[in-house]
Amino acid sequence: MKSLLFVPLLIATMLPLSVAAEQANLTETTNAGTREKLAQVAQQVHGEMHGGGRFEFVKPAERRTIDAKFAEMDALFARSGSVDAMSADAKIALFNAQETINSILTDRDGDRLICKRAPLIDSHIPRQTCQTYRDQMAKTEVSQKQLLDWQTTVCKGGALCPSESGSGQAPGMGGVR
């Protein structure tokens, strides 16, 4: 009986250690204390904002905000050289610019796990389900495409036409309704 209790206890004590190690690794790669390191971090973030990257879901307006905040941070480093040499006001401005970038990237992180507790279809019993932001966005895209297909495939009398391989056209109709 004691050995059965030991396994969950061992897992519970090791989990925070693995999370802390992962966070330390992330902090090490994104800690920009100098202008040169900031340029590396900015390049890394921009690389992840392309299709398939961790931050691929950043919207164009948010991308402009991120670019503007990186430019602000670069200007602060250009004046001081490093965080240690900055005045208190400059450190606050740097922190605020960094937090703006972090909030956007956190919200649009494709690897961010989103969990909810809700009843499944045809059930009143709530279940916890989790999915990444990337999976959620893919499902949203599929749903929007399906809705658009349904809106463009209405036949005479208001009935839905069967579509040919998702093309949105009824078989044999050639696009004429």
Tell me if 170 is assigned to some domain. Answer: no
Strand partners, 6: none
CA nearest neighbour of 57 among 25, 104, 123, 127: 104
Instruction: Give the residue numbers spanning the domain of 39.
Output: 29-107
Question: What are 123-158's pLDDT values in tens digits?
Answer: 888 999 899 888 888 888 888 888 888 777 665 566
- In this structure, is residue 122 part of a structural domain? no
Residue 125 belongs to some domain of the structure: no
pLDDT (tens digit per residue) in 7-25? 333 334 343 443 444 444 4
CA quadruple 52, 58, 61, 63: dihedral sign: negative
Looking at residue 169, what is its pLDDT? 47
Examine residue 149 and state whether it is found in any structural domain, yes or no: no
Number of compact structural domains in the chain:
1
> Which tens digits make up the pLDDT trace of 67-97?
999 999 999 999 998 899 999 999 999 999 9
How far is the C-alpha of 63 from the C-alpha of 49, rounded, in Å? 9
Q: Is residue 1 part of a domain?
A: no
Residue 52 lies in a domain: yes
**56 lies in some domain:** yes
Mean pLDDT of the chain, nearest integer: 77
Q: At what angle do helices 35-48 and 60-80 cross, to 10 degrees?
A: 170
Quick check: helix, strand or coil at residue 4? helix
pLDDT reported for residue 34:
87
Please choose, from the candidates 47, 14, 52, the residue with its C-alpha nearest in 3D space to the C-alpha of residue 30. 47
Chain segment 25-66, per-residue pLDDT in tens: 444 445 778 899 999 999 999 999 988 899 999 999 999 999
Flag whether 103 is in a domain: yes
